[in-house]
Amino acid sequence: MEIKINSSTVIVVYKQKIKNIVHMDVDTSIQFPLASSNRIVFTGHFNGYGVEINSIEEMAMLYHMGYFGKGTKSRSRPKVIKSHGCPVIMRKRQYGKRQFWSKKFKNIHEANNADEFLHKINVLSKKIIKDHSKELKKDIIDLISSDEDCNSDSRRNGYKSCMDSDNEAADIVVIVPNSDSEGDDYFEKFEMKSCLNIIKCEEKLALTTQEAFFLLYSIGCLKIVNNGKFLEVNECWNLFLTGDCHFVEKYVVYHYYRSKGYIVKPGIKFGGDYLIYRDGPGINHADFIVVIKFEQEPQNWLWTLGLVRMAASTLKEIIIIEVCKPVEEDIILPKDLCKYTVKELVLSRNSTQIINDSEG
């Protein structure tokens, strides 16, 4: 197919196979022990849009054994910074934001405690009404008044002791002034002060829903906790499906390239759905940008040329992949995921050049 733009020809070449597909070396492949006696099981917590790993050891192992996830405070690899007794230095705006978070979540916590207290009073009052109908008013008034006095004192004392204990255990941070440019004037008027670190933002490993389900369903090395209970495979599938209407297509593509030995990472930075690496981020650049073709989204020449331009500007190749649903209508997911197939198209951009070799 050819189209002419400003007297230059853009040739879009469609190919049926990915070029130079190679499997990764042993050092960068998934190295989870799959034997039941040596199986490693990690624990993740669902946060509404993804899964978080809190343990430092589990974070390091998951990222080392396949480059799963991303550090919440790092660009890619999760890093745990140890202060070694030195205070943390932060900008004034950062400390102000943490104070806002502290007030916000403290009010939510107090509101939840108040609602729980009133709920218990309501349940207990109904029980008293049923068991002691003769002395209804006296018993209820005495009970509520005494409980309110005790709980108000306990909440007040408990909150104070909790704040005192938190203040004792909190780290000291050094607050420095805000500045976009650290010039001579900034350091001449430089003043800093020490404060208590109210909220500590710990480094976590953030897994996408596709990564989390791959570890849960395909490898069986992850347990996901939501609302205090472990999720089964079907429960996790339904939970991820409600949060993303294209979760099936995205997971099929993710599983497909992982099974080929590629490292698959989110590709939103380059305008695609995924980036696929031969050896992983930090070792080599991504070779391909994967764009999933959904049935509901229209594709035209303008869309295709946008992808070709993106490939040329990023020095990568674009893979358009389409997920084909099975013909059978009575499929059960995720059990029948193996019945899905994919089609791949590789877009390449070739610009023709006229070279004048004539003499004179």
Residue 116: pLDDT over 50: yes
Number of domains in the chain: 2
For the ranges 8-12, 139-143, 271-275, the maximum mean pLDDT occurs at: 271-275
Which of 173, 196, 219 corresponds to the end of one domain?
196
Q: What is the average pLDDT value for the chain, to the nearest integer?
A: 73
Are both 304 and 215 inside the same structural domain? yes
Determine the Cα–Cα distance for residues 32 and 18; give it in Å rounded to an integer. 27
Does the pLDDT value for residue 211 go beyond 60?
Answer: yes
* Mean pLDDT of the region 206-221: 93
Q: Do 145 and 277 sit in the same domain of this protein?
A: no
Pure H helices in the chain: 56-64, 92-131, 136-169, 184-188, 209-213, 233-243, 247-259, 301-314
Task: Please report the sign of the dihedral spanned by the C-alpha atoms of residue 52, residue 53, residue 56, residue 58.
Answer: negative
Q: Which residues are catalytic?
A: 277, 285, 316
What is the SS3 assignment for 41-71?
A: CEEEEECCCCEEECCHHHHHHHHHCCCCCEE
Q: Which of 139, 162, 196 is the last residue of a domain?
A: 196
212 and 321 together in one domain: yes
Number of C-beta neighbours around residue 53 at 10 A:
26
| Lowest pLDDT segment from 67-81, 175-189, 197-211, 320-334 | 175-189
pTM of the model: 0.65
* Single residue among 171, 196, 221 that ends a domain in this structure: 196
Same domain, 208 and 344: yes
Tokens of 169: 């255990």
Please tell me whether residues 237 and 335 are part of one structural domain: yes
* Domain range for 279: 2-80+204-351
> Tens digit of pLDDT for each residue in 124-150?
666 666 665 555 444 433 433 333 443
Which range, of 62-66, 69-73, 86-90, 308-312, averages the lowest pLDDT?
86-90
Residue 47 CA to its chain's centroid (Å)? 9
User: What are the pLDDT digits (tens) for 220-259?
Assistant: 899 999 988 999 999 999 999 998 889 999 999 999 999 9
Furthest-apart CA atoms within the chain: distance in Å: 119
